[in-house]
Amino acid sequence: MKHIELYLWKEWRDQRTGIFGLILVVPILFVLAVLAWDSNRVATVLDPGLAAAIGALTALLVFGADLIPGEVRRARVAFLERLPAGLERAFTAKLVFFVAVTLFAAIYAMSVAVGLHALQGTSSAVPFLDAIRGQFVLPAIACALWIFAVSAWVPHGALAFPAAAIVIALLCSPAWFFFGPDSILQPTSGELRAFCALSAIGATVSAWFSFVRGYRFGRAPAHAALLGAVVAVLSLLPAWSWCAWRWHAAHTLDPHSDRFEISSAWLSEDGSRIFLNATNYAQNTPPDKVIWRGVRVDLKSGAWQSAASRVLVAEYAPGSASPARRVRSMILNGLENRIGDAHDEMVHSIKGSTGLVQDRNLPTASELGLDEHFRIQYWLGMGLMVNEVGKLNNSIFFDPFRKRTFDSAEIYASSPNLDRLSTCIRPGSWLVPRGLHRPREYELFDPDTRASTPATGWNAKDFLGPVLGDGRFLVVDSDGICIYTPETGARDRLTVRGELPGPVKYVWASPWTNAPLSRFQPQFLSLDGHEFETLARLDVEHNEIVTAHAARGRVRLVAYEDANTVLALEDQRTIVRLRFGTTDREVVFPRD
Amino acid sequence: MNPVLQVQGVSKLFGDRAILCGLDLELPADSTTVLLGANGTGKTTLMKLVLGLERPDSGTIRVAGLDPMRDASAVRARVGFVPDRPDVYSWMTPRELFAFLRPQYPRWNRTIESRLVERLSIPLRTSFATLSRGEAAKTMLVAALAPQPDLYLLDEAFSGLDPLVRDDVLAAFLAEIDLSGRAALIVTHELDLAARLGDRIAILANGRIAACKSIEELCGVDEGGGGGGDQPRRLKQALSDVLEGSAA
C-alpha cells in the first residue's frame, strides 16, 4: 500500500482536533457521571463493555460519519483525485483511519472506566466481552461499516445516521425474517457470522465504489449514492438468495428432504388415506415455530397433497372400543376442525398447539358411577386418577374393581417412600414403585388396609411393562419377555415369533394412549432393544408375541388394517406397512 | 519527436451542451502554448480531460504517450498542475503540502523546491488558511514545478495577483521552467501575459482550436520595430479576428 502512510497522516492532521477533544471529553463525562449519579447507575455506565461501546459510538458519530462527506463539503475531492495516488489511496486511508480511531476510542473509553473504578476502589466485575455481548460485536461492526458506507452517499455526515438506518432496514430486510420475534427461521451462528461478514464486505465495497468511482470526474453525492446503492444491493444478493431459499425450504414440503419430519398420522375412516402432519423443519427453528402441514396420502397410489396448515384430530385410538379407523369431526378449543373424506379442506388451522388430545378412551364419571363433580384425569394402570371440580391439588384414585375412590394423600400417608403417582391400580392389590429412580422395587399395596408387601420374585433389573386385563404384567427380564404375577412371582414365558435382532430391553403398550392394554384388541406392543425397535402383537392365549420388521430407529403404530397388518411411522419420516410374523416392509409414504 | 500532449478529435458534452467538439491540439516538446478563449469555452474542461479528471465523450488524449483514463496515476505523476485557486486543505502549511506530495512524484526535485521557496519567500509554517493569495499561488507553483513534470498545466495561475507579486511569480516560473523535452499549456485571459509566456498561441472557440500559431504568425512581424510592448494589442486584434472568423 504505497503512500498509505501519507494519507493516514493527512487524516490524522485533518481529524486530530476532534481526537484531542474526544480524549478530553470522555473522562470529563465519566467523572461527571460519577459525581452526579448514584453508585448503581455509575456502575452501569462504567461497565467496561458499555464504556467501550460509548467510546466507539462517539468515534462513529464524530469521525466515521464525516470522513467522506467532509471532503465533499470542503470541495477537496478534486484535489485528492488529481494526485498520482488518486482517490483509491485516500479511501483506503480513510477506512483504516476509521477502524483505528473507532478501536482507539473504544479502548480509551474502556480504560478510563477501568481507571475510574480503580480510583473509586471498586472493581469492574463485568468482563469486557461476555458471551451475550460478544454476539453483538459482529452486527455492530457491520452496522458501523454501513454507516461509513452510507456517509459517502450524503453531502453531510449528520445525515449519515438516519440514512444508514433506512439503508440497513431496506438492504437487510430479508434478515428480519430471521431475527423477527415471530421468525420461524432462527439463524445459526454460522449464518449470522456469514451474514455479518457479507454485510461488512458489502458495506466496504459499496463505500469504495461510492467514493472512488462515484465522486470521480467531479460528480455529485447523488451519483455516489446511486453507485454505492447498486453495489450494496449486488453484494447482499447472496444473503437475499439464501434467505429466500430458507424461506422456501421452510414453506415447501419435500418428503425426500433430509429435513422432512412427520409428527403424527391417522388412517381415514375407509382405510384408503392417511392424514399426517409433516414439516421440512428449518435448521435452528424453535419447536413452537415449526410449520406443520397437513398431508393427505392416498394409500393405493401414494399420491399426496399438502394443505396450508396442520391436521388436528381430537380422538383416535386404533383398536379402541370406538371404531378403530376413525377420523371424525369434532369441536376443539371452540373451533371446528373437520377432517374426513367428505371434505377437501381436510384441515382447519387452530390457534395454539393443541395436537392430539390426550386419551379419549377415558370413561366418563357417570360411566364409572361417580358424581358429576368428579373429573376423570388419566389412567393409573387399570384404574383412574380423578379429582373433584373446584378443588385444587387433590389426587383421588378410582379403583374400578372396588368401585370406590381413595384419597391418595391419605392412604399413602404412612408410606412416604412409595411413588404414589405411578400407582398401577389392578384387581386385588395395587402395584406401586418404591422410590422415584431406577432400578425400581415394587410393593403390593392394599388400599383398604394400607398395608404393603414387596412384589414377590421381583428383580430390580427387570423392566415392568403394561398391565394385562387379569392384573398380571408383561415384564422383560434377563431371559426375555414373560407374564409376571406379583403376588406369586410366577413368570409365564412368552415365545417370540418373527424377527428380533437382539435382546429386548423394554416393552410398552403400542398405542401410546396410557390406556390399559386390555382395552385394545388386537393388543399391539412396542419392543425396544439396544439398537432396534419393533412392533409386535401380543397373543396371550398362545403365550406368544409376534413381531414385525425391526427398525434401527423409532417405530410408532399409526393404525392397523387387520390383525396381521399395521401402518407404522418409522424414524418420524416414513409411513410403512408391516406384517406380523414376517419381515415385510412396504413403504407407503413417501414413495420413490 | 513525439508530442508531449496529443489531443485528437476530443468532444465533451455536459448534458445537451457541447463544450468541446472534435478538438485537436498537439503540444510539441520544448514549447509553451498559451490557450486563449472566452469564458465557458472549455479551457478548464480541456485541462481536466488531460489530467483524467473528466472522461471525453469521444476522441483520444495522450500525455507522453499515456492515456489519462487508463494510466491515470502515471499521467498525473507526469503533469504539474496549477489550479486557478489553491485547492488544498486550509490547515496545510506549504511544508506539509510538499511533504504530502513529494513521495507521490518520483521526479520531485528538492533542490528546485528549496530554491523556489527561498526565491519566492514562501512561509513554510503558515497554513493556507492564513497565507495571502500571492503566497498561496507561489506555493502551488512550487508544487507544480518541483516534480519536474513532462507537461505543465497552468489554469489561470497568475490571475488575481497584484502586479508586483505576479511579476515575481512569473519571473520565478520562467527561470525554473525546464522545457527540454517538456511542454507547457497555460490558460490565461491576460494577453500581456500570453505574449510574454507563450511561443505559441492556441485559440479555443466553438469547442475547437480555431487557431494555433506562433505569436509571430498570429500577430504578424513587428516591422515598425515597435517592440514587444505592442504585442498584446496586436494579439487582442488577432484574437478578435479569429473569434469573429470562427463565429462566421
Amino acid at position A409, single letter? A
pLDDT of residue A259: 83
Contact A83 B101 (CB under 8 A): yes
B151 to chain A, any CB pair closer than 8 A? The answer is no
Q: What is the pLDDT of residues A498-522, one digit of tens each?
A: 988 899 999 988 766 677 887 777 8
Among A144-153, A401-410, B92-101, B203-212, name the most confident range. B92-101
Extended beta strands in A286-382, E state = 293-298, 304-306, 330-332, 335-337, 374-380
Grid cell in block for residue A20? 484531542
- Cα A421 from chain centre: 30
Q: How far apart, in whole angstroms, are the C-alpha atoms of residue A452 and residue A415?
A: 8
Q: Is the pLDDT score of B12 beyond 90? A: yes
* Chain A CB contacts of B91 below 8 Å: 13-14
* Chain A CB contacts of B48 below 8 Å: 218
Grid cell in block for residue B221? 512581424
Grid cell in block for residue B171? 519571473
Q: Where are the alpha helices (DSSP H) in B104-202?
A: 110-119, 133-145, 163-176, 191-197
pLDDT of residue A341: 31
Q: How far apart, in whole angstroms, are the C-alpha atoms of residue A354 and residue A335?
A: 12
Residue A368 per-residue DSSP state: T
Q: What is the pLDDT of residues B32-83, one digit of tens each?
A: 999 998 888 899 999 999 999 999 999 999 999 999 999 999 999 999 999 9
How far apart, in Å, are the Cα atoms of A572 and each of A262, A317, A356, A533? 5, 19, 16, 13
Confidence label for B170 from pLDDT (cuts 50, 70 and 90): confident
Contact B101 A218 (CB under 8 A): no
Q: How far apart, in whole angstroms, are the C-alpha atoms of residue A195 and residue A168?
A: 13
Q: Is the pLDDT score of B223 beyond 90? A: no
B129 to chain A, any CB pair closer than 8 A? The answer is no
pLDDT of residue B197: 84
- Cα B189 from chain centre: 12
Contact A79 B51 (CB under 8 A): no
Extended beta strands in B3-124, E state = 5-14, 17-27, 31-37, 58-63, 79-82
Q: How far apart, in whole angstroms, are the C-alpha atoms of residue B146 and residue B152?
A: 11
Chain A / chain B CB contacts < 8 angstroms: 50
B74 to chain A, any CB pair closer than 8 A? The answer is yes
* SS3 of residue A5 by DSSP: helix
How far apart, in Å, are the Cα atoms of A508 and each of A313, A463, A527, A529, A563? 23, 10, 7, 12, 18
How far apart, in Å, are the Cα atoms of A284 and each of A14, A184, A192, A287? 48, 9, 12, 9
pTM for the model stands at 0.68
CA torsion angle for A435, A441, A445, A450 (degrees, to 10)? -50
Question: Which of A78, A83, A217 shows the shortest C-beta gap to B104?
Answer: A83
Residue of A nearest to B73 (CA): A84
pLDDT of residue A328: 35
* Chain A CB contacts of B87 below 8 Å: 75-76, 78-79
Amino acid at position A211, single letter? F
pLDDT of residue A382: 92
Return the axis-axis angle of helices A189-208 and A221-251, rounded to nearest 10°: 160
Question: Which of B72, B87, B103 shows the shortest C-beta gap to A86?
Answer: B72
Mutation to test the B interface, candidates A10, A83, A87, most B Cβ within 10 Å: A83
B101 to chain A, any CB pair closer than 8 A? The answer is yes
Terminal alpha carbon distance of chain B: 36
Cβ atoms of B226 and B245 closer than 8 Å: no
* SS3 of residue A191 by DSSP: helix
B12 to chain A, any CB pair closer than 8 A? The answer is no
pLDDT-above-90 percentage for chain B: 54
Grid cell in block for residue A441? 422395587
Grid cell in block for residue B187? 490558460
Nearest chain A CA: its distance from B87 CA (Å): 6
Pair type for strands B208-214 and B183-187 = unpaired
Cβ atoms of A71 and A126 closer than 8 Å: no
* SS3 of residue B93 by DSSP: coil
* Length of chain A (residues): 592
pLDDT of residue A349: 28
What stretch of H or E contains A265? strand A260-267
* SS3 of residue A430 by DSSP: strand
Contact B81 A83 (CB under 8 A): no
* Chain A CB contacts of B55 below 8 Å: 217
Widest CA span of chain B, in angstroms?
54
Q: How far apart, in whole angstroms, are the C-alpha atoms of residue A190 and residue A73?
A: 41
Q: How far apart, in whole angstroms, are the C-alpha atoms of residue A16 and residue A418?
A: 78
Bridge partner residues of A424 (DSSP): A431
Q: Give me the long-range contacts of A176-182 (CB less than 8 A, separation at least 24).
A: A177/A243, A177/A246, A177/A247, A178/A243, A178/A246, A182/A289
Grid cell in block for residue A429? 392389590
Q: How far apart, in whole angstroms, are the C-alpha atoms of residue B86 and residue A174?
A: 48
Residues of chain A with pLDDT under 50: 314-360
